[in-house]
Amino acid sequence: MKRHGSTDDPRPERYGGATKHPHWMRWTQLKRRNELVPEWTEFWAFADGVGAPTEEGARLGKHDRSKPFGPDNFRWAPKWTRDHKVAYLRARYLDNPARSRDYHYTAEYGISDDDQIEMTAEQRDLCAITDLPETRAVRVNAPELGVRRLQVDHDHQTGNVRNLLSGQVNVALGGLKDNPRFILRAAYYVAYHRAEALGLKTRADVRAYMHELLDTAITDMDAKSFFTKAIPEDA
């Protein structure tokens, strides 16, 4: 049987290949956001223009973020590694520490950086429980950042901000589930196992020591001006 017509494929050479191209999803996103110059609204012009990534995991970015992507305004940025992220966050913090802290405090606790500074001054830069300053560095490998601030302590059930604590004390309260019973048990546990060093010879001595310790602790905490605001002395 005789066949008629040409056997040549009339479709363009790249017909059907665009949707399988690695740049297709990125191009559709940019086109939808109107972030492409007019000549790059045609996919193959965009794909040919940006070319292949310079390295595995490289990200397509701009030289000038205020302008759309185009032949003179694109670049392949290195893969965003953990080291890149750490360096970026450190530089951002050093550029404006107050801004970073303000964002964190507002998002997490509903207070501002100024509120935290005021609380710190009221507590004389001392942990509300131990009366000791914070000694840990902001970053172990970045001593230029100085010592950490006291941490904002809050009630995990109500979300209410309480006072400022050193990081280790804050972690300890979390480990004890903010439960006064667990905290008192921990105090008795430590006293019981340090009885000899404390000069306590019997369990009765340990119990008496604990009662005295609790009375002293309550007196000490009630004497703190910042600690007496939430609950009145009398009904």
Burial tier of 160 (Cβ tally within 10 Å: 0-12, 13-18, 19+): exposed
User: Cβ neighbours of residue 120 under 8 Å, at least 6 residues apart?
Assistant: 149, 150, 164
Asked whether the predicted pLDDT for residue 193 surpasses 80, the reply is yes
Flag whether 71 is in a domain. yes
Residue (of 16, 60, 20, 15) closest to 36 by Cα position: 60
CA angle 151, 155, 158 (to 5 degrees): 140
Asked whether the predicted pLDDT for residue 182 surpasses 90, the reply is yes
Flag whether 220 is in a domain. yes
Domain that holds residue 61: 22-77
Strand 161-165 versus strand 151-154 pairing type: antiparallel
Flag whether 83 is in a domain. no
Flag whether 34 is in a domain. yes
C-alpha to C-alpha distance for 149 and 147, rounded to whole angstroms: 7
Q: What is the pLDDT of residue 174?
A: 93
Tokens 């979300």 label which residue?
159
C-alpha to C-alpha distance for 102 and 107, rounded to whole angstroms: 8
Q: Residues 62-111: pLDDT tens digits?
A: 999 899 999 999 999 888 888 888 888 888 878 888 888 888 899 999 99
Average pLDDT (163-173) is 96
Q: What is the pLDDT of residue 123?
A: 95
Domain end marker among 77, 93, 120: 77
More confident residue, 195 or 78: 195
Domain end marker among 55, 77, 99: 77
Average pLDDT (114-135) is 94
Asked whether the predicted pLDDT for residue 4 surpasses 70, the reply is no
Flag whether 37 is in a domain. yes
User: 48 and 14 in contact (C-beta within 8 Å)?
Assistant: no
Beta strands in the chain (DSSP E): 59-61, 75-77, 151-154, 161-165
Give the mean pLDDT of the chain. 88
User: 214 and 206 in contact (C-beta within 8 Å)?
Assistant: no
Domain end marker among 43, 59, 77: 77
Q: Residues 144-153: pLDDT tens digits?
A: 778 899 999 9
Q: What is the pLDDT of residue 15?
A: 57
Asked whether the predicted pLDDT for residue 158 surpasses 70, the reply is yes
> What's the token pair of residue 192?
């019981």
Flag whether 64 is in a domain. yes
Q: Residues 5-63: pLDDT tens digits?
A: 555 545 455 656 788 899 999 999 999 999 999 999 999 999 999 999 988 888 899 99
Count of the separate structural domains present in the chain: 2
Q: Percentage of residues in the chain with pLDDT exceeding 90?
A: 63
CA angle 150, 151, 153 (to 5 degrees): 130
Q: What is the pLDDT of residue 11?
A: 47
pLDDT band at 228 (very low <50, low <70, confident <90, very high): low
Flag whether 201 is in a domain. yes
Flag whether 210 is in a domain. yes
